[in-house]
Structure 1
């Protein structure tokens, strides 16, 4: 490969957003998902009653049957084919909230078998810290996933070596749509999270957000015949 060709490919990585590799629950100037807004006096109607069932049951969230989790920035996309997280519905009476969402901690999601849309560039994702989940009944029902500060780090290697950190200075929440079923599902569509990008030549260090798309099936592991549901 000539020096000019190598430089051209490296510039492409920067210009199109090699940062895609920085996208897990994040976003680099993509469509921003609406963040939860305050409710109550002076802020519009209060959130409705929520019950998550079965109380005390453990569950696992995994990519829906052969699905992918994609993290996109500009025209660059990072795709992971394996992702899962473990959680537990709060025990009664904490699985019900008459005035809003039911919240609990969840294990940090894992992401593996990740590829990028750029030739010669690979990506790995590391997560950690206590993550949170908040389920709210509604039409549709929703689930907010809270990333702890620095709890998601995406690194690229190859033609460009960059580090993308989600929620770099404070926890951030992305919100998905919840659908009851057997199993139930949680879908994130163009969810947006703040990020910082560091690295040398070819890294989009000016990027501040990245987008995330994925659909998870949520299965009851305490009783496989039961379903994790969100209702009033």
Structure 2
């Protein structure tokens, strides 16, 4: 190959390499799309989430079912109730769970909650609401024929994703959501379980002004 052809080939190779490098850099610099805007109204209003039907928490072959659950919170005051590029978050009280039964005969469960819980609302199709369970924030203890302790979010806070529907009242639904757990205890306890499946439907009402509704929008 002549020197002229060699130089031309090297030049074309260098140009191609620069072109690939430039394309790679451009691709790397492309920002990740932001979540859509969210506004929760009425700003500053208190709300209450009340269980509709039953909540279930299943670990291994054992299912705990509760028929009463309540949590309260407050929509952030303006302008904190709006986010142009993502969800709107607010703290909530640790949900209480009572009137609980176990799928194991002769076993009585008690559910306790603690810590800093929160919920974040994201407008969309559908809109979503993600509840954050703090480390060790929910504990199920059983007595009777089997003494077991189930601790949710044992090592790190857990995100529990649900769907939100505006209405009168609005609804928050958790369907087959997996929550990390540890289980300790003796005979009959599902000690090999590392996750639990959570199901619940909550109705969310405005307690500041019952004539209004808690709404998630753009």
TM-score (norm 1): 0.79
Q: Higher relative contact order at CA 8 Å, sep ≥6: structure 1 or structure 2?
A: 1
Please point out which of 76, 79, 83 is paired with 1:90: 76
Residue 78 of structure 1: aligned partner: 64
Unpaired segments of 5 or more residues in structure 2? 1-28
1:83–1:189 Cα change, 3 Å: same
Please point out which of 50, 57, 62 is paired with 2:50: 62
Cα offset for 1:203?
1.8
Residue 218 of structure 1: aligned partner: 204
Residue 118 of structure 2: aligned partner: 132
1:124–1:43 Cα change, 3 Å: farther
Q: Does 1:165 align with 2:141?
A: no
- Alignment partners' CA distance in 1, 2:96 and 2:76: 22
Number of aligned residue pairs: 190
Residue 202 of structure 1: aligned partner: 188
**Aligned-residue CA RMSD (Å):** 1.4
Cα offset for 1:159?
1.2
Matches within 5 A, 1:12-161: 45-64=33-52, 67-161=53-147
The one-character-per-residue Cα deviations of 1:175-213 (angstroms, maximum 9, x if unpaired) are 100000010000000011100111122222221000111
The farther-off stretch of 95-104 and 198-207 is 198-207
Structure 1 stretches of 4+ moved >6 Å = none
TM-score (norm 2): 0.84
1:42–1:68 Cα change, 3 Å: farther
- Alignment partners' CA distance in 2, 1:57 and 1:209: 35
The one-character-per-residue Cα deviations of 1:99-148 (angstroms, maximum 9, x if unpaired) are 00001111000000000122111100000111011000000000000001
